[in-house]
Each structure stands twice: as C-alpha cells, then as structure tokens.
Amino acid sequence: MNTIHHWTTANIPDQTGRIAVITGANSGLGYQTALALASKNAHVVMACRNLAKANAARDKILQQTPEASLTVMALDLADLASIRAFAAAFLTRYDRLDLLINNAGIMIPPLRHTADGFELQFGTNHLGHFALTSLLLERLMEQPNSRIVTVSSIVAHIGRIKFDDLMHQRRYNRWLAYGQSKLANLLFASELQRRLVAAKATPISLAAHPGGSTTNLQHAGIGIDNAFSQKLLMLLVSPFLQSAAMGALPQLYAVTAPGVQGGDYLGPGDWFGITGYPAKARLPWSARDQTAANWLWHESERLTGVSYDALIPQVEPATTP
C-alpha cells in the first residue's frame, strides 16, 4: 500500500454547508470523526444509542471548537424500530444530507441478540447500517457530491458469510461472528457502489478500516470476562496499536478527500495495514465475490424489511428509428 502523502485532518477541505451523520459518534473513531468534521465547519449529527454519553461528547467537542455545529439524535442500530424513528426524525428536520459515516460497531461480545432477534454483531454492524442507509438514501441522492462510508475491520480477512446460518445459531464463535459482520460491511459497500452506478445516482460508496486502534470498542470487547486478564492483555497489545485519532484518518479521508472514487477501500498504510497514515487498502478475496454480495443484499432486504427501490437501474428512453 502507498501512503497518501501523510494525510492528516489538516488536509480536510472546508465543509461549510455540508451535513454529516455519524453513527457511534460519542467515542473512539466516531468521536474523532465528529471532532474533525465539526472543526472544518460541517454540521454533524451525532447518531448514538447512549444520549448521556453523546451529549458529554458533544460538550467536549464544543470545548475544543466553540463554533462547532452539532446535534445529538437517538439511534440504536440493534433495533429496527429505533432506526426507522431516527430516519423519520432526520428527514423531517433536515432537507439535505451530504455525508453518511456508518461507523458504530459491536465487537466480540458473548452471544446476544438485537431487539429483532438477529445475532448482535451481524444485526448491529451490518443489518443496522444496511437499513439506515436505505432510509436516508433519499436525502443523499439529492446532493451531487454525497458520500457513504462504511467502516469495516482488518478482521474481515477471516470473515466468511455463513449462508445457511447467518445468525450463528448452530455454534457461536464471537470472533468468527465479528469477522462475518465486518466482511458483510465490505460486501455491502461494494454492492451499494455497483447499484449506485447502475442507477446513475450521484452518491458514491466507499469503505474504510482503522487498522489496530485503541478505542472503547476494543477495551470493552476483548472477549475475556475476567477484568484483570482483560487489562493485562490490553497492556501487552497497546504498544502495537495507534490512537483513535490516527485510526479515524482513513474514514475521514474517504469522506472528505478530493479524488476518491466509489468502491475505494482505505486503511492505514504501514505495518501490514495496522498503523500509519491513510492508504488504499487491499480488499479480502471474499469481499470481491459479487454473487455473495448480491445474495447478501437481497437477504438483508428481506430481514430488515427495507427496500432500495431508488436504485433500480434507469432505462434509457427508446429513440425513434
């Protein structure tokens, strides 16, 4: 991978007039993304499950950037009713949307389920964002330079789509379930881009990953129930990780940098994609399977009850011979 000129938040163009929705904006990568975009004059909608933490994060950003324009709105990606309520409230309140950053995620918890009965990681990380994007697509398609960035993980390389057991009902392995959800993010981002092109729609879809970054997601999701063991493991691995601010750079590059193209995948450019400044990342082979992506798309529509009718390919009008 070739690092993109040591790109940092200082390189973000002015975002005046643009509206961004960031899921999970109260901590980690989402917080850093909100801080950076608000600092560049975007209006940032912080879409978060925990409103108390989201309001505290908003206040912290305002302390650093008093002129920042921020709104906190409730969104629980593990509940389709909450997703629909958020989308309805957003569409009523805002007449435009330029940037959608599908950032929030759940990492390697014990077996749990969403409000709708989906395995928690697949239901939150993939199905939640799949449904949210569909419901907000109306506003995104009205802007000529809108972007949709879906955040994946290097763990997607171990991911496999369990076509006959998406919810891991037969045997649950938290790491394999997480890998499947992150692979699903990549398949979704790529398939969305193909469908946007076929429909001659204006938004572009990209994906990004943070490499190895120290975030609340990792601290809370080590997969070790003993608190002492969890802290010990983090102490051992932390020297090999980068900050959340560095980890957020690939998604910030994807959502703001001139010259990016639909279908691009961004990640850290050094040390096997674990650390460094943004660079073009290598898609796992399994993420290039268009048959799997198409199947997952239709299955996700069925499970969530949403429709991407706006992306039905446009047919050129017949010409008179």
Structural domains of the chain sorted by starting position, each given as residue range(s) with its CATH number in brackets: 9-304 (3.40.50.720)
* Distances from the Cα of 177 to the Cα of 77, 132, 215, 265, angstroms: 17, 21, 20, 22
- The per-residue pLDDT for 268 is 93
Q: Give the model's pLDDT for residue 318.
A: 44
CA separation for the pair 129, 125 (Å, rounded): 7
Mean pLDDT for all residues in the chain: 89
pLDDT at 314: 59
Model pLDDT, residue 275: 79
Is 178 an annotated catalytic residue? yes
pTM score of the predicted model: 0.90
Q: What is the arithmetic mean of pLDDT over 122-141? A: 98
- The answer to whether residue 230 scores a pLDDT higher than 70 is no
Between 114-118, 225-229, 254-258, the lowest mean confidence (pLDDT) is in 225-229
Has residue 46 got a pLDDT over 90?
A: yes
231 pLDDT more than 60: no
CA separation for the pair 25, 44 (Å, rounded): 9
Q: Alpha helices, DSSP H only, in the chain?
A: 28-39, 51-64, 80-93, 120-121, 129-140, 174-198, 216-220, 227-237, 244-247, 249-256, 290-304
Give the whole-angstrom CA distance, residue 11 versus residue 261. 18
Average pLDDT of the segment spanning 212-229: 48
pLDDT at residue 313 in the model: 73
Amino acid at 173: N
Tell me what percent of the residues of the chain surpass a pLDDT of 90: 80
Distances (CA, A) of 117 to 110, 146, 150, 151, 166: 15, 33, 23, 23, 12
Q: How confident is the model at residue 302 (pLDDT cuts 50, 70, 90)?
A: very high
For residue 74, the tally of other CB atoms under 10 A from its CB is 14
In this predicted structure, which of 252-256, 272-276, 291-295 has the lowest mean pLDDT? 272-276
Task: Check if the beta carbon of residue 188 is closer than 8 Å to that of residue 105.
Answer: no
DSSP element (H, E) containing 142: none
Of the candidates 31, 178, 253, 265, the residue annotated as catalytic is 178
